[in-house]
Structure 1
Amino acid sequence: MTEELYLNDSYIKEFEGKVIKIENNFVILDKTAFYPGGGGLENDIGFLINENGEKINVTEVKRENGEILHKIDSSSLKVGDKVKGIINWDRRYRMMRLHTASHIIAALAYTKFGALITGGHISPDQAKDDFNVENKDVLNELINEANEIVKKGIDVKVYFLPREEALMIPAIVKLAGRNPPQIPIWRIVEIPGIDIQADGGPHVKNTKEIGEIVLLKVENKGKGRKRVYYTVRP
């Protein structure tokens, strides 16, 4: 099993690891800071540097059959080799900002309207979330309220709880149709006084890092389903 460094520290940009398995053009390491994607959040990209100084592009990272696979260009890597991994930090950090922003917006939607997320996607450029609400005007209101929360500079907490204890927290899973994960230990992301969710992805340490949440557009995707697009600046 690969040690997932980002679960404890989303700010690790570089790390050292060892190749433990190679499948075609996918490499499995004993540890990684590359996020494999999930929950609508895109995966990291970057590169590996081998012991000879060769720079190897990592073009895709995914989780498959419990393993984290790093897709690379052809190289001379072999099992046992030590490598230095470097993630594309600018790309990752924008997604971290958008990811934490999405938690704030989802929390407001649930608290004010009892709305759940019915789908979503986060890329470096923008995020989109679908909510089961009737009136699209409320989404503009939510963005404005989210920006007021961002300005408060609230520290974001990340910790781990046993599944049974986590399930006692109201609305710990805010994605409609999503069953609670079956794993015994849950990673919890909490914005005190605002939101608490089970979540496995990278986040910023403080809401001020988000910057300004900018509404791009709202689409009607059918009865009781509205899609909001937004980004962050600067």
Structure 2
Amino acid sequence: MEELYFRDCYLREFDAVVENVIDERYVMLDRTAFYPEAGGQPHDTGFLYCAGKAYPVTGVRRSDGRVYHEVGAGGLKEGDAVQGVIDWDRRYLLMRYHTACHILSAIIHSETGAKISGNQLSEDKTRVDFSLEEFDREQLKAYEAKVNDVIDRNIPVTIETMDREEAFRIPSVVKLKDAFPPEVLCIRVITIPGIDRQACGGTHVATTGEIPHIEVFKAENKGKNNRRVYFRFRE
């Protein structure tokens, strides 16, 4: 299966062929731009169109190296030619949140040395968990200001697919080496020059200037060495 979102995060429509359908609900295509839920980023939604009928895509997940599209109506069958259309407003919102999450995480790591222990994007906010014993709540506004400064600088965001050995020469990527099984030969790397460089399979904006200013509105303790930060976009 060709996963089109890896090479073009801005692709909104695509043509594909149905390869398999399970229980009339789970559709496998030969190629897709629908992002499956992974890495804290929710799945895409949208429609598959075939022979004048619209099939709502309500869920997308990956299993055994395949991407399954859960549709809200039966009728698709193997060999059908379909057009996929992404709910772009939702996807673009999540793209902006995802890149903003990278920026905030990089700044907090730079200031404190904390590593990310989890994250979850949504349409109205994002949370990030850090492995950190102490947390200076008063410093959060300073981190927020630094994120917004990066946004205002409109820095290009690049996406590269590197072979395994090349990617592991990057200090911030080699730290995650154990997370990549030996059969993973290529690694996708997201770079915000001077700010962050990380392995990531999610969708991102092309420049930081596309992101609205953020506000950090909540911080809480989630255990001895776990601190959680919530942020959202300003109106």
TM > 0.5 fold call: yes
The within-5 A match list for 1:1-234 is 2-24=1-23, 25-50=25-50, 52-133=51-132, 134-137=134-137, 138-172=139-173, 179-182=178-181, 183-234=184-235
Give yes or no for contact 1:217–1:228 (8 Å, CA) kept in 2: yes
Distance 1:33 1:173, change over 3 A: farther
Identity of aligned residues (%): 43
Give yes or no for contact 1:43–1:61 (8 Å, CA) kept in 2: yes
Count residues in correspondence: 230
Give yes or no for contact 1:214–1:232 (8 Å, CA) kept in 2: yes
Q: CA deviation at 1:179?
A: 3.2
- Give the aligned CA root-mean-square deviation in angstroms: 1.5
Q: CA deviation at 1:174?
A: 7.3
Q: CA deviation at 1:173?
A: 6.6
Structure 1 residue ranges (4+ consecutive) displaced by more than 2 angstroms after TM superposition: 138-141
**Distance in 2 between the 1:173 and 1:127 partners?**
26
**Distance in 2 between the 1:64 and 1:83 partners?**
22
My pick for the range that moved more, 213-222 or 119-128, is 213-222
DSSP-derived class of the 1:28 partner: strand
Which consecutive residues of structure 1, in runs of 5 or more, have no partner in the other structure? Answer: none
Equivalent residue letter for 1:215: V
**TM-score, with normalisation over the residues of structure 2?**
0.93
DSSP-derived class of the 2:43 partner: coil
**TM-score, with normalisation over the residues of structure 1?**
0.94
Give yes or no for contact 1:218–1:229 (8 Å, CA) kept in 2: yes
DSSP-derived class of the 1:36 partner: coil
My pick for the range that moved more, 179-188 or 10-19, is 179-188
**Distance in 1 between the 2:9 and 2:233 partners?**
18
